[in-house]
Each structure stands twice: as structure tokens, then as C-alpha cells.
Amino acid sequence: MAWSTARTFHLPATDVAELRSPAPSAVGYSRVLFPGPNFRRSARLPPFASLKISADAAAGIKEAVQTQKAPAALGPYSQAIKANNMIFLSGVLGLVPETGKFVSDGVEGQTEQTINFLVQTEDLTEERKGREKLADLNDFRKVNEIYAKYFPAPAPARSTYQVAALPMNARIEVECIAVLQ
């Protein structure tokens, strides 16, 4: 590759010591970019380093949430975790909390039950991200119809997966991340 044209431009006077200071990772003039001495070191910065974090989040304060309105955890995990102004709900199956049995054998009843658990949580203002795991991806249309009843536009972000198996042979498991009031 050869340069076909030459172009001259005037750079303002710059102290070379400034270019070697740790502050800039690159110095640019107009459309020309000159990597500075710390260009490679900038990759070591933590991701999203410029985002502001509340004092509670920075201190790592989190609170486990437990409710009798939803099925008990089936293993060593919390039903939900509150951190900062967010709540992270673990996967929920369509079980009746009092009996530990499924509300129905079909995906429709189990989906209604899992979403009811989500919307009954008093602290939630808005679900931001949902994740559904389906035993059969052919049930996706049925789940969408039920979701549309509970979450009008703009609906939360979602991902849906077909999995090989769910606990207790459930048809669906739903988890979400939501904003607290």
C-alpha cells in the first residue's frame, strides 16, 4: 500500500513531556490519531469504569429476598437479591407455593403462575430483562400471548431458550431483573 498524496498540516506546539504523562491513552489532532505511551495500558481499566455507582453498590451491599408468595428455592440459592436499585429474581417455576405442585401440566397455566409471582412482588416497578427457559420451544407463541397481557409496550427485553430439562419436569422457568420502587 503506497501513499498517493502528501498533505501538510500544522500541529500546535505540544510539550513532549505532556504526551508521556499517564493521563491520555492517545493524542489526536483533527483526523490523525497518535497512540500515547499508555495506549496498551488502557486495556487494563475495569469495564464501564466511567459509570457512577452508588455507595451501597460500591460497598457490595446486597440483601437476600425471601417471600412465602412464591415457591421456596429448590437448592442453595436466594429467591431474589436486592442490590442498589435493582432486584434479580431467580428462576421461578409454575408451582403452587403451599403444595409445591404445579398449577397445571400445560405451559399456559405454568406461565401464568410464574408471571403472577413476578407482578405480585410489591417492590417491582418495571421488569427490564426477562429470561424464559422452555422445555419445548414450540410453546413460544403461547408464552408470548400470555406475556403480552402482563407487559404492554414497551415490553421488557427478553431471551427465551429451549433447554434439555427443567427442575421437576416443568414446562417453563422464568427469571428477571427489575427496577425497585
Domains annotated on the chain, with CATH: 13-50 (no CATH), 55-180 (3.30.1330.40)
**Predicted pLDDT at 55:** 54
**Predicted pLDDT at 21:** 46
Q: 10-14, 97-101, 132-136: which range is least confident on average?
A: 10-14
**Predicted pLDDT at 173:** 96
The conformation of residue 77, written as its DSSP 8-state character, comes to S
**Predicted pLDDT at 134:** 98
How far apart (Å, rounded) are the C-alpha atoms in residues 37 and 51? 25
Backbone angles phi, psi at 74, to 5 degrees: -90, 0
The cell for 150 is 402482563
pTM: 0.65
Q: Specify whether the CB–CB gap between 176 and 81 falls below 8 A.
A: no
Q: Specify whether the CB–CB gap between 176 and 129 falls below 8 A.
A: yes
The cell for 120 is 405480585
Backbone angles phi, psi at 43, to 5 degrees: -70, -20
Closest to 70 in 3D by CA, of 111, 116, 104, 24: 116
Query: Which among 2-6, 27-31, 141-145, 146-150 has the top mean pLDDT?
Result: 141-145
How far apart (Å, rounded) are the C-alpha atoms in residues 6 and 28? 19
